[in-house]
Amino acid sequence: MLDINNIRTGYGAINVLWDVSISARAGQLTTIIGPNGAGKTTLLRAIMGLLPLSQGEIVYEKKVIDGTATWNMADLGVVMIPEGRMIFRDMTIEENLMMGAFPKQHRAHAQRNCERAYAMFPALHKRRHLLAGTLSGGEGQMLAMARGLMSDPRLLIIDEPSLGLAPVVVNELFETLKQLKAEGRSIILVEQNTQMALALADQVYLMQSGKVVFSKPAGEVSLSQLQDLYFGR
C-alpha cells in the first residue's frame, strides 16, 4: 500500500534520514519504534509531504506521492494524527471534529462520520458542546483520533499516541487501535510502548540515528530481542 524507498530527508542542510526504506501493507498495522531522536517523526512528516526528499521516493497505491502537498493527502485517504494531538482547545469538541471534515469532498459526509466517531468514542458525544481544552489527556487523544477519522482515511499515521497517558487509558487507546484495524484500516504507528505496539502489529521496524536497523514480521520477534537491540545490549 505504501512503500518508502531509500529516502533521505532532513531540515535544511541537516540530513536526518539515511536511506530509509519501509513498507506498509494494506489492512496491516506497521509499527515503528526507536529511541528519541531516531527520526520517527521526521519519517512521518516526509510521508505527509512536509519535508522534501533529497533521495528516494514514496509510493502510495502504485503512485509516486512525494511532492504531494500535505493538504491533498486526505484526498488520497491518508491522515496523520500528530504527536501532541494538536487539538483546538478553544473550540468545542464537535467543532474540532468538523475541522477534520474540512476538505470539500468530505463535508457531505460530515454528519455521518461525526455520528460514527461518537459511536466509537461515547465520552466525546457526552461532552460535544464543551471546549476541547477541558478534556483530559486520554480524551484529547481520542478527539485527535476521532478528528482524523472524519475524512474516512484508509491509511492512518499515528505519532506516539500513548505519550503521557495513564496505563489504564493506554489500554483503552490500544483497544481503539484494534477496532480500527478490525474495520480494515491500515495503520502506521510510532510508539514508545514497545510491548503494546508489538502485540497489535503485523510488521515491526526499529529505527536508530536516522536509519532502519531492524525489520521483521511481529510474530517472529520477541519483546526481549527487541529490547536488546533497542538498548544495544
Ligand X SMILES: Nc1ncnc2c1ncn2[C@@H]1O[C@H](COP(=O)(O)OP(=O)(O)O)[C@@H](O)[C@H]1O
Judged by beta carbon, residue 44 or residue 150, the one nearer Mg ion is 44
Contacts with ligand X, 129-168, as mask; x by CB under 6 A: ----------------------------------------
Listed in sequence order, the residues at least 6 apart from 125 whose beta carbon sits closer than 8 Å to its beta carbon are 118
193 binds ligand X (CB under 6 A): no
DSSP assigned state of 50: S
Looking at 41, 96, 141, 186, which residue binds Mg ion (CB under 5 A)?
Answer: 41
Q: How far is the CB of 46 from Mg ion (least distance, A)?
A: 13
Minimum CB distance to ligand X smaller for 43 or for 65: 43
CA distance 76 to 62: 12
Candidates 38, 80, 101, 173; binder of ligand X (CB under 6 A) is 38
Which stretches of the chain are DSSP H helices? 40-47, 93-99, 104-107, 110-120, 122-126, 137-149, 167-182, 194-200, 223-230
Binders in 50-79 for Mg ion, by CB under 5 A? none
How many residues of this chain bind Mg ion (CB under 5 A)? 2
93 close to 124: Cβ distance less than 8 angstroms: yes
> What would the x/- binding string for Mg ion be over residues 132 to 151, using CB under 5 A?
--------------------
What is the C-alpha to C-alpha distance for residues 79 and 182, in angstroms, rounded to an integer? 18
Angstrom CA distances, 26 to 29, 66, 190, 213, stand at 8, 19, 17, 23
Does 193 contact Mg ion by CB under 5 A?
A: no
Residues binding ligand X (CB under 6 A): 11, 14, 16, 34, 36-42
